[in-house]
Amino acid sequence: MTQLVWFVTGCSSGFGEAFVHSILARGDKIIATARNDSKLDTLRAVGAQILQLDITASQEQLDSCIKDALAIYGHIDVLVNNAGYLDLGTLEEMKHDRWLAQLATNLFGTINVTRSLMPHFRERKSGVVVFIGSMAGWKGEAVAGAYCSSKAALEVVVESFQAETESFGIKSLIVEPGMFRTAVLSPNNVKSVDSKFQEYKALSDAVIGGTKGYSSQQQGDPHKAVEVIIDIVKQEGKAAGKGIPPKLALGADAVAQMRNKCTEVLKLLNDWEQISSSTEFSQGT
């Protein structure tokens, strides 16, 4: 297959770092970005091009970064929207500014980076956009409402984006990973609001403590996940001839959670269908 140029956000660790090594090993080229580009020195050493990028920057700053990126190789074939983080706290106790910050990165930052690159993709009438979602976007979890909502909103944004762009050569998918052994749950990365109220404290402490304690214990291998995503984009290996799906569960836990959610919703619709459907005008009215 033709050598591709990839632009990947959030490459200082986790999936982003794994993307760099796997993409280079496939013979493709990559422009790796992170908020602090000094953390990418080791990736530069193995052959990645490096740019500083805070995805919460202004649209003008993002546009400028994409312009710089396009100047490196002359074009970009694949955008991977990977940057994001986890903030934990109950709805009542997590203040408005923290909700905004969570959405500014996981949702609006992703949207804005995609917007910056779309003129290039439209001009070429080709391009692939990969959005890293989460199985958390399929089911709200206690003490994780801000994170779950950011990923759930992204799910619908991508569906709308696909309907808008599929007719002129832009391909895209949202990947819904389960629990993978990245640094996302490390105590240094997880943000949280400890509960001060008796009604929430036991639940909040259990979720926040359990989340941090599960770091480095996750069953998912991020390198295997990245290889699957690259296979899909390049239509190689396990994905040869299968096309690019609109969404992809990654990990047995993600498959189970998404299937359970679909089953629950279907049961709810069936149980309440008679009442739900009783609100139309009567015939002849």
Average confidence score pLDDT of the chain: 94
What's the pLDDT band for 215 if we cut at 50, 70, 90? confident
| pLDDT above 80 for 1 | no
- Confidence band of 213 (pLDDT split at 50, 70, 90): confident
Measured CA to CA, the distance from residue 252 to residue 115 in angstroms comes to 32
Closest by CA to 15, choosing from 250, 238, 239, 225, is 225
Which residues face 127 on adjacent strands? 170
pLDDT score, position 149: 98
Given a contact cutoff of 8 angstroms between Cβ atoms, the answer to whether 161 and 247 are in contact is no
**Residue 274 pLDDT:** 96
* Residue 67: pLDDT band with limits 50, 70, 90: very high
DSSP secondary structure code for residue 36 in this structure = S
Specify the range with the lowest mean pLDDT, choosing from 41-55, 105-119, 186-200.
186-200
The pLDDT of 194-209, averaged and rounded, is 94
Q: What are the structural domain ranges in the chain?
A: 5-274
Mean pLDDT of all residues in 119-132: 97
Question: What mean pLDDT is predicted for residues 226-243?
Answer: 96
Above 90 in pLDDT, residue 214? no
Residue 226 CA: distances (Å) to CA of 58, 212, 230: 29, 23, 6
d(CA 58, CA 79): 19
Q: What is the CA radius of gyration of the chain?
A: 20
Q: How far is CA 279 from the centre of its chain?
A: 38
At residue 140, the pLDDT reads: 94
248: nearest Cα among 185, 121, 158? 158
Instruction: List Cα–Cα distances, 118 to 31, 76, 124, 150, in angstroms.
Output: 17, 11, 10, 22
Joined tokens for residue 237: 């290996």
Give the three-state DSSP class for 197.
Answer: coil
Nearest to 15 by CA among 250, 195, 201: 250
How many CB atoms within 10 Å of residue 275? 8
CA 146 to chain CA mean position, Å: 14
- For the stretch 76-100, pLDDT in tens is 999 999 999 999 999 999 999 999 9
32 Cα distance to chain centroid: 16
Residue-level pLDDT at 87: 95
pLDDT tens digits for 18-32?
Answer: 999 999 999 999 999
pTM: 0.95
Share above pLDDT 70 across residues of the chain, in percent, rounded to a whole number = 99
Average pLDDT (229-247) is: 96
Mean pLDDT of the 217-242 span: 94
Q: Is 130 in contact with 154 (CB distance < 8 Å)?
A: no
**Higher-confidence position of 188 and 51:** 51
What pLDDT, on a 0 to 100 scale, did the predictor assign at position 2? Answer: 83
Beta bridge partners of 50: 32
**Is-contact 43 210, C-beta < 8 A?**
no
Q: What is the pLDDT of residue 285?
A: 64
| Tokens representing residue 25 in the block | 């090993």
Amino acid at 229: I
- Whole-number Å distance between alpha carbons of 255 and 247: 12
Q: Given this model, what pLDDT does residue 37 score?
A: 83
Residue ranges with strand state E in 15-109: 29-34, 49-52, 78-81, 87-88
The topology (CATH level 3) of 5-274 is: Rossmann fold (3.40.50)
**Which of 273, 262, 144, 285 lies closest to 214 in space, CA to CA?**
144
